[in-house]
Amino acid sequence: MLTARERNQIVFKASDLQRKISAFGQFGQYLQFQLDEMEKQLQSDIVSRLKYLIQTLLPEGACSIENVSSLLSLSKRTLRRRLQARGTTFTQLVEEVRQSITRQHLKQSQLSFGQLSYLLGYFEQSAFTRAFKRWFGVAPSKWRSQ
């Protein structure tokens, strides 16, 4: 049996539990603000977790919506719905992560484009080259020579 010191609890007076809370008063506004903030945090958390998972899974070639939704214990449909509520898609997040990794490594390392394409989860360097042109408007070799 746990003593009072060994557990967390909130104690209310019985008379307080009988009181009605006005949804239109200041307390209701405060609660609504808190709920809105919690919802924003939960939504941003899913995007942050997704970006981390994408970055981790890209080099393994295992970055698929099936794998990611499984790791998050969500169905693909639920994951897509949550991302849609945030105004994005899984494919867009993968592209964002790839662009971010590319910018970071082009500024801070001397990786070859073959190594970078592997890090981004591309099986062929030509796929990386096409994506690079789409993101930055020039071929990787031309960008590096500039």
Alpha carbon separation from 82 to 38, 65, 75 (Å, rounded): 15, 13, 11
Residues in the chain: 146
- Full residue range of the structural domain in which residue 64 is found: 32-145
Q: How many domains does the chain have?
A: 1
Q: At a CB cut-off of 8 Å and minimum separation 6, what does 100 contact? A: none
In a domain, 10, yes or no: no
Does the structure show a pLDDT above 80 at 88? yes
Q: Are 56 and 95 in contact (CB under 8 A)?
A: no
Share of the chain above pLDDT 70, in %: 81
pLDDT value, residue 112: 86
Number of helices and strands in the chain (H, E): 8, 0
Residue 40: pLDDT band by 50, 70, 90 thresholds?
low
In a domain, 138, yes or no: yes
Q: Domain holding 98: CATH number?
A: 1.10.10.60
In a domain, 133, yes or no: yes
